């Protein structure tokens, strides 16, 4: 009798802790069972029954209390994690400029799609070859896309290292096209360019005389750069799509920050970052695909500080290759190799 009561009590407590009704208990029916609440129920049996009901009710009450406390506990943990991440990134800096850097780095945005290991391996081999030296990697990971600060060469992109010269030369050619020959095209898809980049737009035409390159405004040069990059990527994508590559460690929002602060944020984020293998590339590279010129222009416009960084030239080359398509490029190499073999 006592064993049966303990079993009933255990079942009552289990029922109180389940979301759905449990499977019915399949035990042998007891003989001569007195109905619950019957006048024939002895005081001892009645007390034990009431005790079981009280214990089951207490267990159910504890379960309900635990459920209500769970969301608050989870929210508290998330909040502490966010605060901890910001404190870790800030490094305890107290200056106003440093606070701006940390605040921007704390605002995450969607950075894009991750490449598969196979795609990353193909891409790494395509850019750097099968056997790449640290010197070559250093050349490609320390070249940004920036204009010269010298008034006499203000339309020119500055090259610090060998290697990415082909990427810079292609962009430079399109920049000169827009600045010298079709400056009227610069206003396409660029209604907010001056405001976003912190420059005042000149009301005059951006077309410059061949002997007065220093008259170019920063706004005009940046619009020419973004327009050039946009056109190149769409040409690579057969005018159907453009792929823009970035790094997962740069997945924070710097829109609205001062121009110098944007550069500082990017520099801090890239401290200690190196790409020495396809695994490194796959880990931090993120890509987004676009199908309209306006969306590509807006994305490139927002990413100008990233392309100015030491990873800029490499990211643009990767964007161009992915816009073209790795499979198409590999097939093209195979066809060229086949013709060379025949000759």
Q: Are residues 331 and 220 in the same domain?
A: yes
pLDDT score, position 278: 95
Q: Are residues 161 and 54 in the same domain?
A: no
Give the C-alpha separation, 225 to 157, whole Å. Answer: 10
pLDDT(85) > 70: no
| 300 or 106, greater pLDDT | 300
pLDDT score, position 181: 92
pLDDT score, position 276: 93
Tell me: the pLDDT tens digits for 47-81?
777 776 666 666 555 555 554 554 444 444 434 33
- In the chain, the number of structural domains is 2
Q: Are residues 335 and 209 in the same domain?
A: yes
Residue 303 domain flag: yes
Give the C-alpha separation, 121 to 74, whole Å. Answer: 39
Residue 36 domain flag: no
Residue 65 domain flag: no
Residue 188 domain flag: yes
pLDDT score, position 229: 98
| 150 or 91, greater pLDDT | 150
Judge if pTM exceeds 0.95.
no
pLDDT(288) > 90: yes
In which domain, by residue range, is 201 found? Answer: 115-342
Residue 133 domain flag: yes
pLDDT score, position 263: 87
pLDDT score, position 89: 41
Tell me: the pLDDT tens digits for 215-267?
788 999 999 999 999 999 999 999 999 999 999 988 665 555 566 788 888 99
Q: Are residues 206 and 317 in the same domain?
A: yes
* pLDDT interval class at 92 (50, 70, 90): very low
Mean pLDDT of the region 199-228: 68
Q: Could you tell me the sign of the dihedral formed by the alpha carbons of 276, 288, 255, 87, in that order? A: negative
Mean pLDDT computed over every residue of the chain = 75
Give the C-alpha separation, 293 to 188, whole Å. Answer: 10
Percent of the chain at pLDDT > 70 equals 58
Q: Are residues 52 and 156 in the same domain?
A: no
pLDDT score, position 9: 58
* pLDDT interval class at 298 (50, 70, 90): very high
Q: Are residues 53 and 143 in the same domain?
A: no
Lookup: tokens for 200: 């005042």
Q: Are residues 53 and 180 in the same domain?
A: no
Residue 108 domain flag: no
pLDDT(283) > 80: yes
Tell me: the pLDDT tens digits for 19-47?
444 444 444 444 454 454 555 667 777 77
CB 223, CB 300: distance < 8 Å: no
Residue 194 domain flag: yes
Q: Are residues 182 and 322 in the same domain?
A: yes
| 78 or 175, greater pLDDT | 175
Q: Are residues 136 and 7 in the same domain?
A: no
* pLDDT interval class at 178 (50, 70, 90): very high
Residue 28 domain flag: no
Q: Are residues 56 and 141 in the same domain?
A: no
pLDDT score, position 261: 81
């Amino acid at each position: 009798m006592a064993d049966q009561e303990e079993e009933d009590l255990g079942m009552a407590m289990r029922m109180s802790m389940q979301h759905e009704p449990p499977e019915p208990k399949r035990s042998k029916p007891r003989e001569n069972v007195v109905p619950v609440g019957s006048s024939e129920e002895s005081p001892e049996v009645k007390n034990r029954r009431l005790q079981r009901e009280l214990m089951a009710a207490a267990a159910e009450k504890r379960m309900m209390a635990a459920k209500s406390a769970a969301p608050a506990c989870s929210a508290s943990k998330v909040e502490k994690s966010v605060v901890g991440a910001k404190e870790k990134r800030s490094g305890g800096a107290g200056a106003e400029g440093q606070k701006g850097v940390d605040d921007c780095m704390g605002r995450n945005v969607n950075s894009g799609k991750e490449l598969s290991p196979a795609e990353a391996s193909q891409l790494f081999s395509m850019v750097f070859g099968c056997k790449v030296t640290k010197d070559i990697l250093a050349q490609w990971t320390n070249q940004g896309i920036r204009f010269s600060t010298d008034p006499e060469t203000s339309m020119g992109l500055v090259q610090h290292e060998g290697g990415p010269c082909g990427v810079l030369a292609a962009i430079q050619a399109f920049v000169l096209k827009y600045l010298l020959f079709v400056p009227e095209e610069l206003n396409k898809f660029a209604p907010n360019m001056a405001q976003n980049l912190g420059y005042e737009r000149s009301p005059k035409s951006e077309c410059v005389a061949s002997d007065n390159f220093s008259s170019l405004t920063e706004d005009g040069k940046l619009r020419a750069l973004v327009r050039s990059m946009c056109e190149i990527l769409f040409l690579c994508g057969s005018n159907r799509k453009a792929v823009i590559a970035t790094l997962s460690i740069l997945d924070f929002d710097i829109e609205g920050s001062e121009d110098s602060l944007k550069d500082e944020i990017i520099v801090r984020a890239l401290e200690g970052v190196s790409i020495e293998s396809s695994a490194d590339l796959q880990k931090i590279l993120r890509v987004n695909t676009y199908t309209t010129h306006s969306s590509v222009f807006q994305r490139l416009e927002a990413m100008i500080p990233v392309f100015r960084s030491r990873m800029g030239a490499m990211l643009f080359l990767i964007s161009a290759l992915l816009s073209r398509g790795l499979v198409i490029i590999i097939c093209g190499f195979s066809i060229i190799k086949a013709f060379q073999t025949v000759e």
